[in-house]
């Protein structure tokens, strides 16, 4: 709810503040604010209503928004906390999940050091009721390129090696940071391992590609484990543009095809963001190392989970509902990866390899276009349960949620 | 640097889990105060740095067959394929032993499709070659003990005559096992010895249902060196009390160091008659802690099997049948 320059976050009728509400309501109100007469060059105030029930996976998004607004306005956004000493559960949650420590200017090393993204009244924190324990594991984490632990890794010149070193570092780190939550998931140790690896790779992607801080929250409830990762980096276009062209891939080749094949009408910038997601998957699918595409397949096919990727104003939700098409893609990916393995191991001539890759790239392109067309087709039939969501307002950076249902 | 390398008949053997434990205990921690990384021997996932270290070591040799023992490795970091191929290129032949189908798939090794899985889809040995290769591998335990015996023999000092007199025990010991010599002669392999000791400690003492970890108790300089490394491998706390054995000291303030009801394992280098262990046991128990056993590099079994206490683990036992250094204990009576 926007009132003058204050955006109220609340939960009327106990309606949880989810990432969907974040992308629709909050971002919309924010854009309304900038168009309203109350905008005088300063950032809006974000006020938390006492009724607010927040979905923990929104915390990284709020953090990313705070970081973005601070960068834009060169000043911090004010967060208004209303503590009536009685119904202050939301403030208690934000404090105990380390959100307020990271968002503010905390310098006490007992908690994460503050990133100074929000202004808030510190005296409003406290006098919490002790009713109902909040899990100490449910904490927001922030990872940054300037962390002391990365000092040596940042010096590695070879990009592939630096990436491997980053993944390795975050394997240990996520193992430590999320051990309690992950060990509780009633599944095999292989899947748990996969989860740690997934987190490590997602954080690495954020740090490696976007050069921004990465905010991570992992949350367990009775039905699922969700991890949410947000950055405000340069985004998919910019990182794809820097890739050197190969005989079988040049930047924009899939987008060009999608522009032709997808008939759904949407604003140009929305279309660009949407196609960039598929372009990224396609690029990653042709690559000679495992990356985002394999990760997505692993979450959906390996762990029966959901993979939601939000970029600018589009969110794509990959789930087992697209099993048929994903299996086709997985098979092509396997063939490509084996071919690349054989080329490296047996030193097959590059000409043959390029020709074979070119064939695979065409097959992969068709399969990817089919997936995209299907998703857009279903969107025009049924917006609410569609695998793609188009939002009015865009938020910079890449935001990923991976959700693992508990099948017990 | 690698710790588990053993060379035998043109073959180089590596214990991948030992290497991973070394990385996880000593290399992964980046010195960030907010980030204490110590995975110890509990990690079962092979990471890039470990494989890189093995590659660097292999690159120093030419024409060797490389055997990587994957037996305790359950998973691998993604994208290790290139490094494995690099090792293959440095070697005559690269063989992975006891490797799971999951790892083979994840490392993209399915392209070496002449390897046939055994029961359960895992591979007893997996050769990175297009042709079928027949090789005979030596048991890695046997190799370890052979290598250990050689080092032990090299580091044993003979003290004949008057020199055999020991101040701390009323016996003559004409052979002196120079543990410091073992540490310095082959410091990397010595870490592997401690890694194996850590595995045995974990197996014997780790669980008592209370959830609390045992504490390592050390009582001399060599013991402290061992305990310091073991405490990284095992993630256990350690308590050091120097000079309990050879010097007669009165401990008037020991009580405040021992935690009540905590479980203690005494770490030493060589257990001969066990006098020092007994002193430690008394100190621990008297102060309210619980002595649960001891761990050493070499243990001299002076008693018959049926009379031995069942509270100790060691890497190498010197018995009547297994005495490569002709160790003996002499008294003035015989």
Per-residue pLDDT for A346 more than 80?
yes
A149 shares contact with chain B (CB less than 8 Å): yes
B43 contacts in A (CB within 8 Å)?
A: 175
- Report pLDDT for B253: 56
> If you average pLDDT over every residue of chain B, what do you get?
89
Question: Taking CA atoms, what residue in A is nearest to B110?
Answer: A338
**Of A148, A160, A340, which has the smallest distance from its Cβ to B32's Cβ?**
A148
Give me the percent of chain A exceeding a pLDDT of 90: 46
Per-residue pLDDT for A356 more than 90?
yes
Alpha-carbon span B101 to B108, nearest angstrom:
11
ipTM, two decimals:
0.84
Give the pLDDT confidence of A72-120 residue by residue, as tens digits.
Answer: 999 999 998 887 777 778 888 898 899 999 999 888 888 888 889 999 9
A183 shares contact with chain B (CB less than 8 Å): no
* pLDDT mean over A171-199: 83
Which CATH topology does B6-138 take? Transcription Regulator spoIIAA (3.30.750)
- Report pLDDT for A408: 56
Record: contact A197-B78, CB cut-off 8 A: yes
A335 shares contact with chain B (CB less than 8 Å): no
Record: contact A164-B30, CB cut-off 8 A: no
- Report pLDDT for B294: 95
A176 shares contact with chain B (CB less than 8 Å): yes
Record: contact B74-A189, CB cut-off 8 A: yes
Residue of A102, A141, A151, A164 to mutate, interface with B, max B Cβ within 10 Å: A164
- Would you list the domain boundaries of chain B? 6-138, 148-318
pTM: 0.88
**Of B48, B128, B130, which has the smallest distance from its Cβ to A164's Cβ?**
B48
- Report pLDDT for B170: 84
Alpha-carbon span B308 to B320, nearest angstrom:
14
Give the pLDDT confidence of A275-328 residue by residue, as tens digits.
Answer: 999 999 999 999 988 888 998 998 899 888 899 999 999 999 999 888 999 999
Is 3.40.50.2020 the CATH classification of the domain at B148-318? Answer: yes
- Report pLDDT for B203: 92
A176 contacts in B (CB within 8 Å)?
A: 35, 37
Question: Taking CA atoms, what residue in A is nearest to B43?
Answer: A172
* pLDDT mean over A139-167: 89
**Of B39, B48, B130, which has the smallest distance from its Cβ to A346's Cβ?**
B130
- Would you list the domain boundaries of chain A? 2-120, 148-218, 235-404
- Report pLDDT for A202: 86
Residue of B30, B84, B107, B129 to mutate, interface with A, max A Cβ within 10 Å: B30
Record: contact B74-A168, CB cut-off 8 A: no
A151 shares contact with chain B (CB less than 8 Å): yes
**Of A148, A172, A338, which has the smallest distance from its Cβ to B39's Cβ?**
A172
Tens-level pLDDT at each residue, chain B (334 residues): 999 999 999 999 999 999 999 999 998 887 777 677 888 999 999 999 999 999 999 999 988 999 999 999 999 998 999 999 999 999 999 999 999 999 999 999 999 989 989 888 899 999 999 887 788 999 999 999 999 999 999 999 998 877 888 777 788 889 999 999 999 999 999 999 999 999 999 999 877 777 788 999 998 889 999 999 999 999 999 998 866 655 455 555 555 678 888 999 999 999 998 888 998 899 899 888 999 999 999 999 999 888 888 899 999 999 999 999 999 998 888 6
- Report pLDDT for B12: 96
């Amino acid at each position: 709810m926007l009132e003058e320059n204050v955006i109220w976050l609340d939960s009327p009728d106990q309606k949880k503040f989810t990432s969907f509400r974040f992308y629709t309501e909050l971002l919309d109100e924010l854009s309304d604010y900038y168009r309203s007469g109350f905008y005088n060059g300063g950032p809006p105030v974000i006020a938390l209503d006492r009724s607010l029930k927040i979905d923990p996976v929104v915390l990284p998004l709020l953090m990313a928004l705070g970081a973005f607004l601070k960068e834009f306005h060169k000043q911090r956004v004010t967060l208004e906390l209303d503590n009536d000493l009685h119904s202050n559960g939301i403030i208690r949650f934000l404090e105990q999940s380390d959100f307020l420590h990271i968002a503010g200017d905390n310098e006490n090393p007992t908690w994460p050091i503050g990133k100074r993204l929000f202004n808030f009244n510190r005296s409003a924190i406290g006098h919490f009721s002790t009713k109902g324990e909040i899990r100490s594991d449910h904490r927001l984490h922030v990872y940054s390129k300037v962390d002391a632990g990365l000092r040596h890794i940042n010096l590695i010149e070879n990009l592939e090696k630096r990436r491997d070193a980053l993944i390795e570092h975050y394997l240990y780190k996520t193992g430590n940071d999320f051990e309690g939550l992950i060990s509780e998931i009633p599944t095999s140790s292989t899947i748990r391992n996969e989860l740690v690896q997934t987190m490590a790779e997602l954080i690495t992607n954020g740090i490696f590609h976007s050069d921004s801080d990465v905010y991570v929250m992992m949350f367990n409830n009775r039905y699922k484990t969700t991890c949410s990762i947000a950055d405000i980096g340069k985004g998919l276009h910019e990182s794809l543009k820097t890739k050197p062209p190969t005989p079988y891939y040049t930047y924009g080749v899939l987008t060009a095809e999608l522009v032709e094949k997808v008939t759904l009408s949407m604003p140009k910038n929305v279309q660009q963001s949407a196609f960039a997601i598929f372009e990224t998957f396609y690029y990653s699918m042709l690559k000679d190392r495992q990356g985002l595409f394999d990760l997505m397949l692993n979450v959906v096919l390996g762990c029966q989970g959901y993979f939601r990727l939000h970029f600018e104003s589009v969110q794509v939700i990959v789930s087992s509902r697209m099993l048929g098409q994903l299996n086709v893609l997985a098979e092509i990916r396997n063939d490509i990866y084996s071919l690349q393995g054989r080329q490296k191991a047996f030193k097959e001539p590059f000409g043959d390899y390029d020709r074979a890759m070119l064939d695979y790239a065409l097959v992969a392109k068709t399969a990817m276009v089919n997936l995209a067309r299907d998703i857009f087709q279903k969107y025009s039939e049924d917006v609410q349960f569609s695998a793609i969501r188009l939002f009015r307002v865009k938020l910079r950076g890449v935001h990923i949620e991976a959700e693992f249902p508990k099948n017990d | 640097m690698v710790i588990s390398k053993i060379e035998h008949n043109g073959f180089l053997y590596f214990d991948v889990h030992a290497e991973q434990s070394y990385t996880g205990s000593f290399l992964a921690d980046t010195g960030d105060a907010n980030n204490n990384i110590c995975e110890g021997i509990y990690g079962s996932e092979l990471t890039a740095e470990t494989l890189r270290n093995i590659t660097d070591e292999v690159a120093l040799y030419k024409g060797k067959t490389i055997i990587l023992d994957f037996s305790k490795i359950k998973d691998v970091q993604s994208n290790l394929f290139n490094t494995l191929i690099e090792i293959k290129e440095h070697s005559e032949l690269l063989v992975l032993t006891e490797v799971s189908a999951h790892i083979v798939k994840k490392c993209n090794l399915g392209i070496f499709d002449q390897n046939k899985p055994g029961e359960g889809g895992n591979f007893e040995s997996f050769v990175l070659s297009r042709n079928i290769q027949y090789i005979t591998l030596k048991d890695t335990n046997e190799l370890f003990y052979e290598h250990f015996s050689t080092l032990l023999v090299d580091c044993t000092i003979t003290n004949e005559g008057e020199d055999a007199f020991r101040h701390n025990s009323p016996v003559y010991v004409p052979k002196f096992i120079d543990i410091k010599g073992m540490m310095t002669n082959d410091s990397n392999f010595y870490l592997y010895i401690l890694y194996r000791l850590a595995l045995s400690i974990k197996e014997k003492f780790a669980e008592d249902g209370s959830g609390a970890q045992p504490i390592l108790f050390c009582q001399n300089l060599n013991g402290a060196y061992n305990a310091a490394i073991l405490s990284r491998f095992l993630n256990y706390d350690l308590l050091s009390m120097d000079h309990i054995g050879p010097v007669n000291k009165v401990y008037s303030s020991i009580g405040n160091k021992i935690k009540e009801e905590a479980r203690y394992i005494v770490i030493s280098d060589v257990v001969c008659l066990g006098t020092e262990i007994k002193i430690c046991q008394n100190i621990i128990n008297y102060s309210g802690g619980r002595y649960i056993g001891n761990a050493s590099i070499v243990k001299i079994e002076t008693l018959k099997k049926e009379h031995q206490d069942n509270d100790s683990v060691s890497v190498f036992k010197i018995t009547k049948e297994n005495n490569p250094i002709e160790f003996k204990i002499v008294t003035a009576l015989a």
